[in-house]
Structure 1
Amino acid sequence: MFGEDHFLPLVLINILGIAGILVWHIQGRSRPTGRLIVQILFFATMSLVLGLGRISPYRLDQAELQGAGILIAKSARILWWTHLAWTIIGFVHIYVGLNRRPREAHLLQDLVVAVVYLGVALSIIGFVFGAPIGPLVATSGVVAVIIGLALQNTLADLFSGIALTLGRAYVIGDWIRLNDGTEGRVAETNWRSTNLLTSAHNAVVVPNSVLAKQGVTNLSRPDETHWIAFAVHIAATHAPCVVEEVMLGILQNCERIVKIPPPAIAFKAIDAMAIEVELQFWVASPASRAFPSEDRTQTE
């Protein structure tokens, strides 16, 4: 059994580590700020005890490898490394919160969390249990290649989602349109797909790999004001001036149409059968359009 110079600090670290986990769970998900404070305080206290006891979290002393003391020494270091991971993740949450874009940064946040947990797990295996990390990493690399080949489509969606997030081609709430004609407001982005809410109030799930390969038109930038040119054919039984007056009156009385700039009328063709009139106006957002696509000519 090792001396009291290490025994008492290691026991205290075990107590602090377990107490931190219990308090963290008692806080609950409804109190993220309280949870973060608990993580930081307990980790700082555990690190202070390590420093005052001159105990290294990276290796076990020879005196600690005797008898039952090895369990206390290893558990203390495992708890310290675990709280280190939680503290780093807590600061990541703070950074995301300060940027005021928690949902857009969701993919990157999950990626950082995965890297932190992987790094801490390898550190515990190497420093606490003394296992050789090199062969383990090499074996993990082979396994990763096999899994990658089996999950090509899923990984394509994953990295496409990260690329789209970094590129900021759109954010949550933007109205976008794809080259295949699919359009809607971005409701959610995750590891696999992007969910669009269409004007018909339907949810469209687009895989990130498909989204990355297609051209994306962001209809919300620089703003959502949208210009529409709508072609109408009217029987040639009325004078063009009367048609223009009636059409302008209809446009000016429509609540969905922006009054500034004012709507306009353009005559495209006149023959013995019909008058082709193009109604030109602005709407507040792409969602305000309610015209069947087959009955209109539209230019953004």
Structure 2
Amino acid sequence: MFGDHHFLTLVLINLLGLAGIVVWYFQGRGRPMARLIVQILFFAVMTAVLGFGGILPHWVDQADLQGTGAYLAKSARILWWTHLAWTLVGFVRLYVVLEHRPREARLLQDLVVAAIYLGVALSITGFVFGAPIGTLAATSGVVAIMVGLALQNTLGDVFSGIALTLGRPYTLGDWIMLSDGTEGRVVETTWRSTHLLTGAHNIVVLPNSVLAKLSLTNLSRPDATQQMTLTIRIAATHAPHVIQEAMFAVLQSCKRIVKEPPPLVALKEIDAVAIGMDLLFCVAGPGDRLLARNEVIDLIHRHCETNGLRLAMSPQSYAVLLPATGDQPPATVMRPRSSGAL
């Protein structure tokens, strides 16, 4: 196939391939679109030159491996396959950039890029150098089995990371809570682990295989708004509706809670001493829980003083004064809550 009349065609392909590498290098990583355009242009021109010259990059003939043009033929094919790989990789990276998820899609991106380079390397080995790809693939399979057995735990983390990336139970920046009580914001995902920034500003590194086995709650979906519940007891010195209105005013005056959905006051129980209730309110995100809770507690104390209300003790702290017997003074006994309380 390749003869002396292909000499100029081979020289042109080599020059185009080398020029494409130089231009691609000077484009820089910060311009993915420009890099992709350069890769497509040079690859298209090289493919057109190959077509007009009657050269097939995927076909090996013994004449290709002989004569003075053998080195030019090999280098031209290698450059063509290399530019093909770069063009495909450019499309993959551009897709990730356009989707605005460059970090959380890194695992899938690396996997696809590795598959592209592996396929191109095998193609160059078989189509350029004429090596038996079948034998090479069989040998590589045996080596891969040996490596897989030696790296079972690592590979488990890798494939668990891929499964988590495909399932997308969380993304970078989401606040998640695991079934074992671990809670934090997802700040990084790698091949082997996921990093959480906890509320105490510590980094918790969780292997992906462990994380895939735990049930988790994504506190940032469908949005970051999170409901909180504060249980209080007010002395039963006023009517329940008066106490309810006072506590609702507390929630309305709190600046660190969101007003949509609106806060609620749920009367929960009543006995001879106190009225128990739950204050239900939402905060903008998990990071606001502490400050919002502190503000609500402070406002409860202020409104109780303003409206003549008193906080009641817990049912387990009731004191019962027993009558005096003989020379014994009255005794105080701590009595737990009666099961008959409403």
Q: TM-score, normalised by structure 2?
A: 0.76
Matched, 1:257 2:257: yes
Deviations 1:139-162 (A, max 9, x none): 111111111112111111111111
Cross-structure match for 1:54: 54
Deviations 1:182-233 (A, max 9, x none): 1222222221122223333333222211111011212222222221112245
Matched, 1:170 2:170: yes
CA distance in 1, matches of 2:11, 2:133: 28
Identity of aligned residues (%): 67
**Cα distance change on mapping 1:65 and 1:137 into 2, 3 Å:** closer
**Cα distance change on mapping 1:51 and 1:244 into 2, 3 Å:** same
Q: Gaps (5+ residues) in structure 1?
A: 294-300
Cross-structure match for 2:119: 119
- Name the aligned partner's letter for residue 90 of structure 2: G
Comparing 64-73 with 162-171, greater Cα deviation is found at 64-73
Cross-structure match for 1:131: 131
- Name the aligned partner's letter for residue 126 of structure 1: G
- Kept after mapping to 2: 8 A contact 1:161/1:191: yes
Cross-structure match for 2:197: 197
Cross-structure match for 2:4: 4
Cross-structure match for 2:82: 82
CA distance in 2, matches of 1:149, 1:63: 43
* SS of aligned partner of 1:51: helix
Cα RMSD (Å): 2.7
- What is the deviation of 1:9? 0.8
CA distance in 1, matches of 2:233, 2:197: 32
* SS of aligned partner of 1:78: helix
- Kept after mapping to 2: 8 A contact 1:268/1:276: yes
CA distance in 2, matches of 1:77, 1:113: 20
Cross-structure match for 1:185: 185
- Name the aligned partner's letter for residue 35 of structure 2: R
- Kept after mapping to 1: 8 A contact 2:3/2:69: no
CA distance in 1, matches of 2:34, 2:259: 50
- What is the deviation of 1:267? 4.5
Cross-structure match for 2:302: none
CA distance in 2, matches of 1:273, 1:247: 18
- What is the deviation of 1:273? 7.6
- What is the deviation of 1:238? 6.3
- What is the deviation of 1:46? 0.8
* SS of aligned partner of 2:194: strand
Relative contact order, higher structure (CA 8 A, sep 6+): 1
- Kept after mapping to 1: 8 A contact 2:192/2:207: yes
**Cα distance change on mapping 1:41 and 1:146 into 2, 3 Å:** same
- Name the aligned partner's letter for residue 188 of structure 1: E
Q: TM-score, normalised by structure 1?
A: 0.86
* SS of aligned partner of 1:290: helix
Cross-structure match for 2:71: 71
CA distance in 2, matches of 1:3, 1:282: 78
Query: Where in structure 2 are the equivalents of 1:236-275 lying within 5 Å?
Result: 236=235, 239=238, 244=244, 247-269=247-269
- Kept after mapping to 2: 8 A contact 1:60/1:73: no
CA distance in 2, matches of 1:205, 1:172: 14
- Name the aligned partner's letter for residue 195 of structure 2: N
- Kept after mapping to 1: 8 A contact 2:32/2:94: no
Matched, 1:226 2:221: no
CA distance in 1, matches of 2:49, 2:261: 69
Q: Gaps (5+ residues) in structure 2?
A: 294-342
